[in-house]
Structure formats: C-alpha cells, structure tokens
Structure 1
C-alpha cells in the first residue's frame, strides 16, 4: 500500500475555484450595480469563504482554498496589480493570435474585440497580489493546517500567448520575450517570497496555455502563420522556471493544465498531452501536475510515461462541467490504469507501488473559473469532492 502523503499534493485534491454561494452572487450583482458598498461586498465574501472552508474540511479536503470567491475571473490579482501593465477594454481581435483556440472561438462567435492587458512600461511589483487573501484564509484554519492552504494564480505566459512577441509589450519598452519574461519573473519571485513569509507553502499555477499546444488547430495555425511551436513552448517552460528561481525550501508548486472552463463549463481546446509531455513533465521545475482527464478530449494516459520519479500527477478524473456523479469503481480502475502505464512504460520503468505513489485524484478543473460558474449546484459540487476523498481512501487507504 502506498504511504499517506503528508505534504501537498494530497491524495484527494481540488483545483481551487468553487461555486459562488447565492448570497454572495446576489451581493456582487448589487455591488456592480452600485447598490452596495465595497465594505458590504467584503463582508459577504468573508462570510461565504468561512462557509466554504468549513465545507472543505467536512468532506475531507486538506489543501483548502478560499474558492477564489473574491475574484471575478481565475486570473485576477496578478497583471491588474503590476506597474507597467495597461488594461485595454476593447482591443481588436485582429491584434490577437487567431490560431489560439480561445481566440478562434471568439471570432467564430462574431466578436470584434475583447478585453486584455498590454505592457506599456517596465514591469514592477509595487504591491502584494494575494497577501490579504491568504491572511484572511489562514485565520480560518488551525495553525497546523496553514501549511496546506493553497493559493492559485495565473502563469506569466497568460497574455503573451494571446498576442505573441509583437503585440504583448511595447517594443520600445522591451526588445525581446526574454527581457519581458525576466522582469515578470522578478515580480513572481517577490510575490512567492512574501507569501512564504506569511506561511504559504502551496502554490498552483493555473495554465491553459500548455493544453492549447495540444490542439491540432493551434499547431497547424502556428505553422501557417510562421510562428515557431518549439520556441514558444520552450519559452513558456523557461518563463515559469524563472519565476521559481530560488524558491524557498518547502514551497510546493504545481501547474494545472486546462483546456478551458468558461461560462457553463465551455471548453476551448482538444487533444492529448503527447505533443508536450516530455518537455513539460521533465522540463518544468515544479512538484506536481494537475491534469485534466475527465473526457476523451484529454487523450489517454500514455504521456504519463514521461513523469519523472520525483514528481506527482494529480489525475483530474471527476468533471466539474456537469452534475452527473462518476462511478467510484470506474475512477479506481482509471487510477490503476495510469499507475500501470507509469510502471511498465515509464522512463525509467518503476515498481507499480512507486507509480501508484506518484498519483493523486481531483476534479479536472475548478467549479467556477469565472464568476457565473459551471452548470451544477453547490450540492453537486460537494458530492463530487466527497467522491474524490472517498475514492482516495479506497485506493490508498488514507483519509485524503
């Protein structure tokens, strides 16, 4: 039997975002309509977060988050707080890369512009991103559980993939991707150090950019546009690694790879991990990968053969896109199937026990990457998380 995991990622995980409780949802609408104050909204957020923390504890989740209940979109709190970044509410879609699955869907829907961020000056982190949110979260758990709390954030590549090397930053400010990502990395390093000083030991990058590389439409589109697939993939791996340079000892970092989780559970990309697995699994300086594996569009477990011996794969086998509850027996079979592939086909091969010890289970994505959330109820959400915990107990013989 594989031993219990004493540090994140735990056997039973979730990606971070949770459905907004109805009281908070209504209060946010009133705030945006100018019918309540910022203080009243914060009080509603505080009350809702206290409840979702308690619910996570009740179902047995250990890597607790605040459900991202203070955010409208999962990526908020980084680029909007950096000096040198300018928000553009209506940037023409002609200034986005048309082959990115997200952009091609907007184009097909007849949209002509979309909000984005453009780098107009030297990047500097002049204020914390998530310190206040983390401090509020840690006040809700026992001292011994603070180290397990998880902070989620978007990757440094988030806006770059949309616009490419020519339209992400003012070319009179940065002459190259390397200069741009170097300054971004300094900002991420500072944030990570500050979170560590506050007691944070668990960070997750939510990254859709890697799964977009898995989509044949993007691959062919890049080729047609003359953009270098390998250069961009290598650049994004290096960008994240630079953010983690000299990260504190004991800080667990994971990367969640997603194919899209917009309003109503909409996805953007399709395709298995085979195109990127070797480079990403072996090249990224992270501890774990949260992998979307709830449907056939994510491909099979074959690419897990590249999982290094010192890293963990969190299998996202439970969908957040529909209320239908998965079969526990089917989930257990899939976990053992993944362990078998890692054991027999892994580079290097390893014992089945070792392979199983490198696995955990979770939903494939958050329940509400955007404010509106996915098409299921809060009851459905907690039943799915309880299923994740119960499945972990039966596979690994641990509480979570």
Structure 2
C-alpha cells in the first residue's frame, strides 16, 4: 500500500445516509429539531461511519457528506456572491431528474466564513482517533462555471462568465488555504464538467439549451484549475474525481476520455479518480497522457450504482489493461463514484455498500502487494 494519498484502495467520498440522518434532517426541515440536536445526530453517525471505514481496511475516511443534501450546491451556496435558487428544471439523468435547483451569481464571488470549514473541523479529530487520514471533498470551480446559465448571472460587475474567472480562482485558492490552515492534507475537487466535454450530445445541449459557449472549454478549464493549484503547499494532496453523473444509480454523460485527456492530465492534480465501471467510459488509451512522476490515476472499476460484486479476476484483468498505458505504480483502485452524491442515495443496501468497499481494499492489497 502507498504511504501517501491517493491510496491504492481509495474512495470518492459519499456514503448512503443512515435512517437516523434522514429522520433528523427531515425533522429539522420541518422545524421539529433544532440545529444543535441535528448536529448531535450527525456527529454520532459520522463517528460511526469513520470507524466503519477504518474497519473495512481503508487508510482514509470521509464524513460521507452526511451534512449535505447535494455534493455541490451546499458548497456553492456558502460562497460569497452565490445563491442556490429554485428553477423550472432539474438536471436530466437517464430515467430520472433531480430537484429543480440552479446556481445564481448575484455578487462578487469569494470565500470567507464558509460553513464547511466547521464540517472539516469535526471530521479531523474523529478520523485521527480512528487511525486514518481525513479526506474532504469539494465541488470543483469548473462545475460552478458550467452550471451558471446566462440568465442567472445577475451580479452587476459580471456581464459574462469570463468576467468572474479571476474572482472564482481566488475564491478557490482561499478555500484551499483555509482548509490547509485547519490541518487538511487530503482534498478532492469533484468535477462533472470534464465529463460533459466527453459527450457531444451534452455539449450540444449546453450550447443550444443553456447558452454556454462550448468552444475551447477544455483549455478554459485546464487554465482555471492550474491557476487554482499553482501555489498549493507541497504537503497538501489535491485530487479530482471526474463524474459522469450519479443520482439514484442513474447517469448523464457518455463518451471516452480521449477528447479531454491531454488537457486534463496537464492540470497539476496529484490524483485523478476516473469512472471506468461501464463501456460508457471507453478504453484506457487516454491514460497515455498521464504525466510521469507522482500523479496517480485511481481506476473506478467497482460500481457504486449496483450492489452485485464484480468478479475479482475481471477487475484484475482491467487493471492489467490499464497498466499497458500507465505504469502500475501510478494506478490505484476505487468505486467509480460515491454511494450517495445527493441525500437520496443510490439503489443498493448499506450491506452491499460496505461489501463494495472491502472488495476494493482486498483487490488492491493483492494487486499492489
């Protein structure tokens, strides 16, 4: 096993919400449970979750995103100058649609006293007491950029999406520094935007239905992310998860990584969590663009969308295929995504969820002895 993250057996971050969390959050929304009581339930359930991650053999632990309803909107809504608003449409998944929410920029984008810093402060001592490294996930700035529709850009100083880039970059640099100053050494920027660039259908939809200029998006995103990361501390590991959509076990985007690989792997991330649990992801050939050295590709070969365990030999064979295009020492294994990117969760049981995690740990221990 590797000593530093990303680990040979790693995870994306979110876990199925236990009934206690669901009940407490519903009671809080209804006004029957105050914030302190909700926090107490969350603290208890997260402590239990961290112990389960350690017991499953992981070298890291997350808070399962138990304090969030969404993997991205909760963070965006806590930024200065950004609101999450009701809209007339959700995100169109295959056979499902999310709640009708959207990002609105109505002031100068910035990062100040963000509530998720408190989420991190609560996770850190619990994880360290369990003997594992705390990991915290945030949505990437490129997601906010891709999600801002022209009609929702209402801040007076931003006439176009290009106008807010400097402030967006600085907000994320400030966020990374704030988490680092609080002791974070393993962060992950979750990113659906790159996955849309793999799909011509999704690019056409963004251009014609939402008014997004799609030409040159790969260069735009590589530039934004490189600027965000260019001065990060040497002892801080920042990875990214490229997500193709994960809502109630459904998905959005299809297409291999070839259209984005050269730009994506030029971004100075330490790790790239790539979904490879279905034929929709294409082959491993794009891994040839991985920079030699310390960067790691974490292969999402174990699906979080269904409970059945993949055959061990099949996973090992796919790792061997990937190793034809990137050195085995630069590869690792994880589920393809989290188990609950939104509070609704994927369609599998908690028992199946933990079987998946142990599956990843056992296979990685055998492949990277």
Distance in 2 of aligned mates of 1:32 and 1:175: 36
Distance in 2 of aligned mates of 1:25 and 1:194: 30
Q: Which residue of 2 aligns with 1:27?
A: 24
Q: Which residue of 2 aligns with 1:330?
A: 314
Distance in 1 of aligned mates of 2:239 and 2:173: 15
Are 1:52 and 2:35 matched, yes or no? no
Bigger helix share: 1
Distance in 2 of aligned mates of 1:242 and 1:190: 12
What are the within-5 Å matches in structure 2 for residues 192-211 of structure 1? 192-211=176-195
Q: Conserved in 2, the CA contact under 8 Å of 1:103 and 1:162? A: no
What are the within-5 Å matches in structure 2 for residues 248-267 of structure 1? 248-262=233-247, 264-267=248-251
Look up the SS of the partner of 2:69 in the other structure. Answer: coil
Deviation at 1:128, TM superposition (A): 2.9
Distance in 2 of aligned mates of 1:396 and 1:109: 38
Scaled by the length of structure 2, the TM-score of the pair is 0.92
Are 1:292 and 2:278 matched, yes or no? no
Deviation at 1:169, TM superposition (A): 2.3
Distance change >3 Å, CA 227–CA 137, structure 1 → 2: closer
From 155, 162, 172, the counterpart of 2:140: 155
Look up the SS of the partner of 2:31 in the other structure. Answer: coil
Are 1:124 and 2:121 matched, yes or no? no
Look up the SS of the partner of 1:360 in the other structure. Answer: strand
The one-character-per-residue Cα deviations of 1:39-89 (angstroms, maximum 9, x if unpaired) are 221111011100110000001111211111110111144221122123321
Deviation at 1:145, TM superposition (A): 5.1
**Alignment gaps of 5+ in structure 1:** 94-101, 343-354
From 166, 179, 194, the counterpart of 1:182: 166
Distance in 1 of aligned mates of 2:129 and 2:33: 34
Structure index of larger Rg: 1
Provide the aligned length of Structure 1 versus Structure 2: 367
Look up the SS of the partner of 2:337 in the other structure. Answer: coil
Q: Which residue of 2 aligns with 1:61?
A: 58
From 341, 345, 351, the counterpart of 1:379: 351
Deviation at 1:366, TM superposition (A): 0.2
Q: Which residue of 1 aligns with 2:323?
A: 339
Moved more, 195-204 or 236-245: 236-245
Distance in 2 of aligned mates of 1:178 and 1:246: 22
Moved more, 168-177 or 23-32: 168-177
Distance change >3 Å, CA 224–CA 84, structure 1 → 2: closer
Q: Which residue of 1 aligns with 2:197?
A: 213
From 36, 56, 62, the counterpart of 2:33: 36
From 295, 318, 331, the counterpart of 1:359: 331
RMSD (CA atoms):
2.4
Q: Conserved in 2, the CA contact under 8 Å of 1:9 and 1:63? A: no
Distance in 1 of aligned mates of 2:343 and 2:233: 32
Scaled by the length of structure 1, the TM-score of the pair is 0.85
Distance in 1 of aligned mates of 2:239 and 2:260: 17
**Alignment gaps of 5+ in structure 2:** none
Distance in 2 of aligned mates of 1:151 and 1:109: 28
Deviation at 1:357, TM superposition (A): 0.2
The one-character-per-residue Cα deviations of 1:209-231 (angstroms, maximum 9, x if unpaired) are 11111112124456768965342
Moved more, 226-235 or 306-315: 226-235
What are the within-5 Å matches in structure 2 for residues 206-285 of structure 1? 206-221=190-205, 228-262=213-247, 264-282=248-266, 284-285=267-268
Distance in 2 of aligned mates of 1:144 and 1:381: 20
Look up the SS of the partner of 2:100 in the other structure. Answer: strand
Distance change >3 Å, CA 338–CA 84, structure 1 → 2: same
Distance in 2 of aligned mates of 1:266 and 1:109: 7
